[in-house]
Amino acid sequence: MCQELPTFDYKDHCQEEEIVLERSSNDNDTSLGFRIAGGNDQPFVENFTSIIVIHITENGLVDRDGRLKLYDIILRVNGVDYSNIKHQTAVRILKMSRNIVRLLIRRLVPQLIEVIELKHSNGKLGIEIAGGIGTSIKVNKNNYSIITTKNDHYVNFKAIRALPLLYERTNEQPLIKSFDFEDYQRYENRKSLPSNVFTHHLSKLENLQLNSNHLHSLPMSFWYLTALRELNLSKNCFFTIPQAILNLTNLQLLDFSFNQITEIKNEIELLQVDELNLNNNKISKISTKISKCKRLKILRLDNNNLELKSIPISLLKYSTVSQLSVKGNRFNYKQFQLVEGYDYYEKRYTANQRKKD
């Protein structure tokens, strides 16, 4: 049983370090070169609200400096406490910080490290692993191995060939035993996804089908799917568009139809996609920020709870949307045609149809 196992004080394995970064004086190169996840409103994993470094840009400022590491926990930025902070607030403080950026970070550092080099010829090492960010392992009295607690450790692998991902059974429902992304196999009937499935090894993935599940959130590690073009999340249980996909830059089609979304929030302006399907939700409010989606051309809003006043004038006047579908809401199309800005939208629609012809 667990009480028979030795316990460890992980505080003895953590160290804090102050890192001072200096931004370039060149106005065209002000990025710090790293991305964060976490916050008291968007935990990186359940009950883990710390702000954590999840990506370091190759040849960026942080990468060239060499001191900040992946999965470092940020405690302070220029004296501002990051221990209990909202995600967007943390991002904004980093963006608005001046040329000199002082970071206080915490890092897990083992007191004893042994490097073992293994050679093989058949592509197999003959071992299995457990643990990692967002994952805890079960150990019984007959199984002594490396013991970690949730969120304390991470494992980073670099592999030439694809590795199968093995998981145990939870609540009598089998988790994925293998995930062949070349064949785009589908997760089915899941409520959540393991955060450590989505890593930089999947940076070439272009098509992902996650429809017909019970998902209500996505792990922040979705940011690794930088080449993703089509993402199908229809027929799930989402109440909002997850933060994890707002920074994907190559999306062409995003399908959120048949979910429980009630509002399109201000963060929508960060979404980069050509076609967004929000049919058959419960949407009654749309942020005016949607007009700032620079690539959005097709927006489907059929069968929601929209009233005429819910449609932002800026969406009709100033957006790039050339195909807007709003059937099955609390107004008819003739009423919609009389809304201020409709003539601007109609011109874009007509021009787009002529291109097709």
Please tell me the least confidently modeled range out of 108-112, 159-163, 205-209: 159-163
pTM of the model: 0.52
Across the strands, what pairs with 53? 36
In this prediction, residue 326 carries a pLDDT of 96
**What is the β-pairing status of strands 253-255 and 275-277?**
parallel
Give the list of residues 6+ apart from residue 163 with CB closer than 8 angstroms, or none. 157, 201
Q: Torsion over CA of 315, 317, 318 and 321, rounded to 10 degrees?
A: 60
Please state whether beta strands 263-264 and 253-255 pair in parallel, antiparallel, or not at all (unpaired): unpaired
Q: Dump pLDDT digits (tens) for 330-350.
A: 999 999 999 999 999 999 999
Helix then strand then coil, % of the chain, to nearest 5: 20, 20, 60
| Integer Cα distance of 12 and 189 in angstroms | 41
* Numbered ranges of CATH 2.30.42.10 in the chain: 9-108
Spatial distance between the Cα atoms of 65 and 190, rounded to a whole number of angstroms: 41
The CA-to-CA distance between both ends of the chain, in Å, stands at 71
pLDDT, position 13: 59
Amino acid at 54: I
**53: part of which helix (H) or strand (E)?**
strand 51-56
Cα angle for residues 16, 155, 72 (degrees, 5° grid): 25
Question: Where do the CATH 3.80.10.10 domains begin and end in the chain?
Answer: 191-356
Topology at the third CATH level for domain 9-108: Pdz3 Domain (2.30.42)
Identify which of 33-42, 189-198, 200-209 has the greatest average pLDDT.
33-42
When mean pLDDT is compared over 1-15, 114-128, 241-255, the highest value belongs to 241-255
Whether 176 shows a pLDDT value over 60: the answer reads: no
Fold of 191-356: 3.80.10
User: In this structure, are strands 51-56 and 80-81 parallel, antiparallel, or unpaired?
Assistant: unpaired
Report in angstroms the alpha-carbon separations of 121 from 117, 127, 158, 201, 357. 14, 15, 17, 22, 58
